[in-house]
Structure 1
Amino acid sequence: MTAFAPDWLYLREPADAAARATELLDPLREYLPENEEVVIRDLGCGTGSLGRWLAARLPGAQRWILHDHDTELLTHARASIPESALDGSLVDAVAEQRDVTALRAADLAGTSLVTASALLDLLTRDEVTALATAIVEAGCAALLMLSVTGKVELSPGDPLDPALAAAFNAHQRRVTGGRRLLGPNAVDVAATAFGRLGATVVRAESAWRLGPDQAELQRQWLEGWVGAAVEQLPQLRPVADVYLQRRLEMAAAGELHAVIHHGDLLVLPPSMEAAA
């Protein structure tokens, strides 16, 4: 799994929070049991941004089990989960270092909800299928947020935008360590996998909308976006270097707007129906 620096994860957290599909919360609240502790497993938790966003938006006592392979990130996450739920109930958190791709139904026993943010696009088709199977067989709900879908809108536009977007998307689908990543296909693959298992799947858009007040996030995102495109297609480098400098100057001047599209999924077990 890819490692991410805490500074980058904290920088993107406000954009993540603004993008998350809040319309998925009402059907999730209706599904979760009342008058008993809700056990939530957050896969690939990073610094805990999803827990910080979600815990205070759900009622009732909660026990968060935070999973990541990075012990430093787990330390950040466990220390920052809110102590109170939406209704003031107690929220507790524990950290477990483990490979989230190896989770099976037995590992999810007693879990009410599985969550993840910016994770599905880092997985393979087989890994997403196995995760969907584990979640459905365990009878859990799932809230899987902020998976990239491959669409980027930059304003003002540039003739090089489509070529860089295509190269970046190909990089997201690359083979690494013998694993073919899903990248922008992840939301479709996951929705199909859960649907075939009989689960109810509700999809929602969750785009980053970066304006002039987020110049530093624009800068770091641009550097990563162009860098990945060039890594995938090295012949782009001469024009990409000039492009990046031009875009960075626009971002610094407050002249750039960016919409980076993501998708969110709410999954409810086969016996439940989502209120769309």
Structure 2
Amino acid sequence: MTKERFEADWLAMREPLDHQSRAKAVMQLLAPAWAKHGWSNIIDLGSGTGSNLRYLAPRLPGPQQWTLFDHDHELLARARPPEGVPDLRLATLTGNLASAGLEVARATGAHLVTASALLDLVSKDWLAAVVDTCRATSAAVLFALNYDGILEWVVHDESDDVDDGWIRRAVNEHQRRDKGFGRALGPMAGLHAEMLFRGSGYRAWLFRSPWQLGPDDMAVVRLLFDGWVEAAIEQTGEEERVRAWAARRSRTIARGQFRLIVGHTDFLALPPD
């Protein structure tokens, strides 16, 4: 399987989870502001195949002009708008998100700068540039599904594994490695965004939007689990200990009587009236 096919399959797999996990309070704040100001222009950064478009477009009133921006043209080629949104225009652009994404946001005159599952990958400097860009044009901001560091196993009649916390800390530190923007904010991304945007005069909110996974989500669980094992080995160098934990938690997964909470936040910032 090619890397592009794997990424497309992963995005398709997680899309329903993302949509059902997103904080409903976001749209209760964003939709009225959208209608009040007559906004219409949206740029979606790191769009992938367009999941963010398919969630937001049916929930925003009035005409919409979307620009999807991603480094991968093959993923963008798979982007499809949602049904039932008649007054929607769609453009796609390919480029380096770290160096060109904000230039595109300025050039398109976006009323809303948005992304999904991106904020925890970026650096503090890049986030500060987002703040400056949005403040200059009074754009609203929505970063959804930002990983917040919570990995919690809930298993009936089973105590926490002695190494759950150690693995979580290793994974979270691995999340702070450079993802192409400089040292990543990782689990602290949402809090940093809230602080920076409020410091620039924005009204800002941070809502919880965790994934609640179980036996019905086995394909996602296994992919996540394998990624955590790899990350923990890279971060700690203690392969034997990591694989021993993996063997124990693999038995948990195989028994099929568990819940796995993967924490995320949805961040919304609206310009001052």
Same fold (TM over 0.5): yes
The 5 A counterparts of 1:79-98 are 80-85=80-85, 89-98=86-95
1:160 maps to what in 2? 163
Q: How much does 1:106 deviate?
A: 7.1
CA RMSD of aligned residues (A): 2.2
Distance 1:75 1:109, change over 3 A: closer
1:68 maps to what in 2? 70
2:137 maps to what in 1? 138
Q: How much does 1:160 deviate?
A: 0.8
Distance in 2 (CA, whole Å) between partners of 1:123 and 1:177 is 8
Distance in 2 (CA, whole Å) between partners of 1:60 and 1:36 is 8
Distance in 1 (CA, whole Å) between partners of 2:18 and 2:75 is 17
In structure 1, the residue corresponding to 2:61 is in which secondary structure?
Answer: coil
Contact 1:39 1:62 in 2 (8 A): yes
Contact 1:43 1:114 in 2 (8 A): yes
- 2:268 counterpart of 1:266: yes
Percent same amino acid among aligned pairs? 38
Distance in 2 (CA, whole Å) between partners of 1:139 and 1:5 is 33
What 5-or-longer segments of structure 2 have no aligned partner? none
Contact 2:68 2:91 in 1 (8 A): yes
Contact 2:210 2:262 in 1 (8 A): yes
1:9-38 deviation digits (Å, cap 9, x = unpaired): 111112111111111102111111469671
- Greater Cα offset, 67-76 or 178-187: 178-187
Distance in 1 (CA, whole Å) between partners of 2:185 and 2:115 is 16
Q: How much does 1:245 deviate?
A: 2.8
In structure 2, the residue corresponding to 1:67 is in which secondary structure?
Answer: strand
In structure 1, the residue corresponding to 2:78 is in which secondary structure?
Answer: helix
Distance 1:240 1:260, change over 3 A: same
Distance in 1 (CA, whole Å) between partners of 2:105 and 2:68 is 17
In structure 1, the residue corresponding to 2:109 is in which secondary structure?
Answer: coil
1:57 maps to what in 2? 59
2:50 maps to what in 1? 48
1:81-111 deviation digits (Å, cap 9, x = unpaired): 11433xxx42221101123333149725532
Q: How much does 1:142 deviate?
A: 1.1
Q: How much does 1:200 deviate?
A: 0.6
Q: How much does 1:112 deviate?
A: 1.6
The 5 A counterparts of 1:107-256 are 107-156=106-155, 157-175=160-178, 179-235=182-238, 237-256=239-258
In structure 2, the residue corresponding to 1:263 is in which secondary structure?
Answer: strand
Contact 2:105 2:113 in 1 (8 A): no
Contact 1:150 1:165 in 2 (8 A): yes
Distance in 1 (CA, whole Å) between partners of 2:180 and 2:112 is 30
Distance 1:194 1:177, change over 3 A: closer
1:29 maps to what in 2? 31
